[in-house]
Structures are given as C-alpha cells and as structure tokens.
Amino acid sequence: MATYKQAAGFDFDESTEHSVLSVQHLIAKEPLSSIPQQFVRPNQEPQSTFSNAETGSLPTVPTIDMKQLLSDEASADIELEKLHSACKEWGLFQLVNHGVSTSLLDKFKHEIEEFFQLPLEEKAKYRKTGDLEGYGCDQIITKDKKLDWGDRLYMTTNPLNSRKSHIIPELPYSFRNTLESYIVELQKLAVKVLDFLGRRLKMEKREMGELFEDGRQSVRITYYPPCPQPELVMGITPHTDGTGITILNQVNGVNGLELKKDGIWIPVNVLSNALIVNLGDIIEIMSNGMYKSVEHRAIVNTEKERISVAMFISPHLDAEIGPVTSLTSPQNPPIFKTIGMEKYVKNFFTYNHEGRSHLEYMRL
Ligand SMILES: O=C(O)CCC(=O)C(=O)O
Ligand SMILES: [Fe+2]
C-alpha cells in the first residue's frame, strides 16, 4: 500500500514513517522549496484578501448579541429580527455576549496549542487507518485528491457511546478536562441559539427541541500551518456543513475563514470575544429553504499558524430530517426529501452525489 507520504508526493523515509500525514510536521522537517503537487490547486477562485484590494468595501458579516436576545426589553424583538435576516441572507453571524467564559476559552486555547506541539508519534496514536476521526491531514488519499493545508483532530463527542475509545479518553488529562467543559458550555449555547431560530421560524417548540435533544455532536480542531505560497493551497476546501448549526471558535485570533455570498468570497474577520455561528444543511432543509446553509472555506497565510475549533451540532440519530410540518403547506410544498438521520449521515459521508453537493442531493 502506498504510504501517506508517497501519496502526497514526499520521499519515503523509513525511519520517520508514520501512518499519519501532518502538514505541520512535513514543513517542520525542512524548508519547502516548492509546494508538493497534492496541495496545489491550479484553478481555485482567488483568495479575497490577496486579490481584492477593496476588501474594505465588502459587506460585513452581521453580529448578533445574545444578551439582547435574552433581555426582557423591546430590543429583544429587534435583535430577533436581525438574527432572522442574518440566517436568511448570510447563513452565518458573529455571536457576542454568548456566555462562554473567557477563562475557559483562554485555557482551551492554551491546551490546544500544547496538543499540537506534541511529537508526531504522540498525536499519531489518535488515528486509526481509514477512520475519519482522529488526528492528521486528510486521511483518505487517492492519486488525484487535493489535500487541505491543515491538520485536524476530529472526534464525535455525543452520544457518549459513539465516542472512539482511543481518542477522547486517551487525550492528555488537562486537555481532556478542558475539552469536556467546552463541550458542555457549547451544548448549552447551541440549545439557546436553536431555540431562537425555531422561535423566529415559528416552528412548534417540540419540532426543534426534540430533534436536537441529546443530538449528534462532533468537534473538529484544525491547525493550519503558515504556507510559503498560500495562494496555491486551501486550508479547507469550499463546503457547506452537513450539520444543524456549527459554532466556530477562531482560537488564536488569526483570520482565514471566508464565506460565499452572491458569488463573492467574503472574509469573516476575527472579532474579539465573538464565536461564529454558521447554519448547516439540516437547518436549510428543516426551514424548507428559508434559512441558508452557507458555503465557506478557510485560507492560510505566509506568516502565522491559525487554529480553529468547529463544534458541529446535529439532530439525534432517530430523528427524521426534512422540512418541518409547520413550515410547509399546499402553497409552500416541501422542496427537500425527508430521510432518517442515520441514513442522512451515512449518505453524507459515503454516497457519491455525482458532482452535486449533499444538499442538492436532498433537493426534490
Ligand atoms: O477553520 C475554519 O475557519 C473553518 C473550519 C470549517 O469550516 C469546518 O471545520 O467545517
Ligand atoms: Fe465548515
């Protein structure tokens, strides 16, 4: 079997071989004279920060204030309308006053930085060949597949019985503890956000609550090393998330996330004290197209490493995924299929959609 390094265009070196490909460790070994071909994307749409001198004139991503949403005053209704239009027009917003404590966020940042500084042998323990979960750069490598410029630690966190025994339970003790606190805090936050979305969509309370209660959740922590030619590579390929919602934490304050709006890539600049909420395919489907699952990507730069944490929040595996009954009518018939969550997840990860996105595949 070809090794990861051979497949990625690197020389095979018996003494340093691991079953995991890591961009961070490949570039740490020796300075790169050129970017290995498997990372080079000749036809990608230009990065906005490199090509668009007028970045300042691009529209700015909306900011939503959770404290306002939760207040008893009339301003709560105004904020809810802002949230509604952000979900319809952007599918993404910066969330401030989210209630996750700064000390937890600081501690988590520190633990993540320490984790990625571990030797490759240590981190390689968290990957099993062929498994989507665990540590490393893309793990399914075929000849023509372009690789993303980043290493990830990806793990299912809920339901508890679907956690992999060689990942979370084996993480360094302090990192694991902090991660557990982060998971709890972000679950609480997700419940609040979903509740406001359901309220403004005028769904029946149970339609949102029941689906997401003890739902499927996973976390992807990504370390994007600097790159000598960032315009040739992509930190993460353009995609929409298959989730209900995703809460993204731009951990070390370095920009890189971009979203596509009206055909243009727009940078989502780091706003201190904000978490980013982006809507995934499931919310677009449930809302029968009212809310948008946003296409996004991450770019890298020459100077600084970038770290992000995406917390993916989805319904439980027994849920039915489709436009909710209270949002469809003879005048507004369903535009998406309804399928069980278990099948949805399986299709999302394995099904060949013949060039279409999974969301397009779900469209009737
Ligand atoms: O790192 C980022 O800013 C985006 C990550 C992302 O989109 C994902 O993990 O799905
Ligand atoms: Fe994403």
Shortest CA distance to 267 belongs to which of 47, 12, 109, 108?
Answer: 47
| 257-261 β-sheet, strand order | 236-239, 296-298, 257-261, 264-267
Q: Using alpha carbons, list the distances in angstroms from residue 160 to 181, 235, 315, 339.
A: 15, 30, 14, 24
Q: Mind listing the pLDDT tens digit for each residue in 43-74?
A: 777 665 444 445 557 889 999 999 999 999 99
Query: Is the CB–ligand 1 distance for residue 222 below 6 Å?
Result: yes
Classify residue 61 by its DSSP letter.
P
Which superfamily does 19-29+37-362 belong to? B-lactam Antibiotic, Isopenicillin N Synthase; Chain (2.60.120.330)
Number of the ligand 1 atom closest to the C-alpha atom of 224: 1
Residue of 152, 217, 246, 314 to mutate, ligand 1, most atoms within 8 A of C-beta: 246
Query: Is the CB–ligand 1 distance for residue 298 below 6 Å?
Result: yes
Task: Collect all residues with Cβ–Cβ distance below 8 Å to 304 and sequence separation of at least 6.
Answer: 226, 252, 254
Query: Is the CB–ligand 1 distance for residue 92 below 6 Å?
Result: no
Query: Is the CB–ligand 1 distance for residue 167 below 6 Å?
Result: no
Which residue ranges make up each domain of the chain? 19-29+37-362
Query: Is the CB–ligand 1 distance for residue 296 below 6 Å?
Result: yes
Q: Mind listing the pLDDT tens digit for each residue in 146-182?
A: 899 999 999 999 999 999 999 999 999 999 999 999 9
Ligand 1 center to 294 CA (angstroms): 12
d(CA 163, CA 248): 21
- Residues present in the chain in total: 364
Can you list the residues of the chain whose pLDDT is less than 50?
1-17, 49-53
Q: For ligand 1, atom 3, which residue shows the shortest CA distance?
A: 257
Q: For ligand 1, atom 9, which residue shows the shortest CA distance?
A: 310
Instruction: Find the ligand nearest to 256 CA.
Output: 1
Task: Collect all residues with Cβ–Cβ distance below 8 Å to 317 and sequence separation of at least 6.
Answer: 159, 216, 340, 341, 342, 345
Alpha helices per DSSP H over the chain: 4-7, 23-29, 48-51, 66-70, 75-89, 102-116, 120-124, 173-201, 205-212, 281-286, 341-350, 358-362
| pLDDT given at position 195 | 95
Ligand 1 center to 120 CA (angstroms): 22
Query: Is the CB–ligand 1 distance for residue 241 below 6 Å?
Result: yes
Ligand 2 center to 149 CA (angstroms): 14
d(CA 337, CA 347): 13
Number of the ligand 1 atom closest to the C-alpha atom of 235: 1
Instruction: Find the ligand nearest to 280 CA.
Output: 2
d(CA 110, CA 107): 5
Ligand 1 center to 75 CA (angstroms): 32
Query: Is the CB–ligand 1 distance for residue 258 below 6 Å?
Result: no
| pLDDT given at position 220 | 97
Token pair for residue 167?
Answer: 């990942």
Ligand 2 center to 17 CA (angstroms): 30
Cβ(279)–Cβ(292) below 8 Å: yes
| pLDDT given at position 11 | 40
Phi-psi region of 218 (alpha: psi -120 to 50; beta: other; left: phi over 0): beta
Query: Is the CB–ligand 1 distance for residue 219 below 6 Å?
Result: no
Token pair for residue 276?
Answer: 């980013």
| pLDDT given at position 139 | 66
The ipTM (two decimal places) reads 0.99
Number of the ligand 1 atom closest to the C-alpha atom of 222: 1
Ligand 1 center to 298 CA (angstroms): 6
Instruction: Find the ligand nearest to 148 CA.
Output: 1
d(CA 269, CA 253): 9
Shortest CA distance to 182 belongs to which of 256, 251, 252?
Answer: 251
- What pTM does this model have? 0.93
- In DSSP notation, 114-137 reads HHHTS-HHHHHTT--TT-SSEEES
Cβ(32)–Cβ(9) below 8 Å: no
Query: Is the CB–ligand 1 distance for residue 152 below 6 Å?
Result: no
| pLDDT given at position 42 | 78
| pLDDT given at position 107 | 98
| pLDDT given at position 154 | 96
Task: Collect all residues with Cβ–Cβ distance below 8 Å to 168 and sequence separation of at least 6.
Answer: 155, 157, 176, 179
Type and span of the H or E element at 228: none
- In DSSP notation, 153-193 reads EEEEEESGGGS-TTSGGGS-HHHHHHHHHHHHHHHHHHHHH
Ligand 1 center to 256 CA (angstroms): 9
As a whole number of Å, the CA-based R_g of the chain is 20
Number of the ligand 1 atom closest to the C-alpha atom of 278: 7
- Helices 205-212, 173-201: axis angle to 10 degrees equals 160
Task: Collect all residues with Cβ–Cβ distance below 8 Å to 113 and sequence separation of at least 6.
Answer: 252, 307
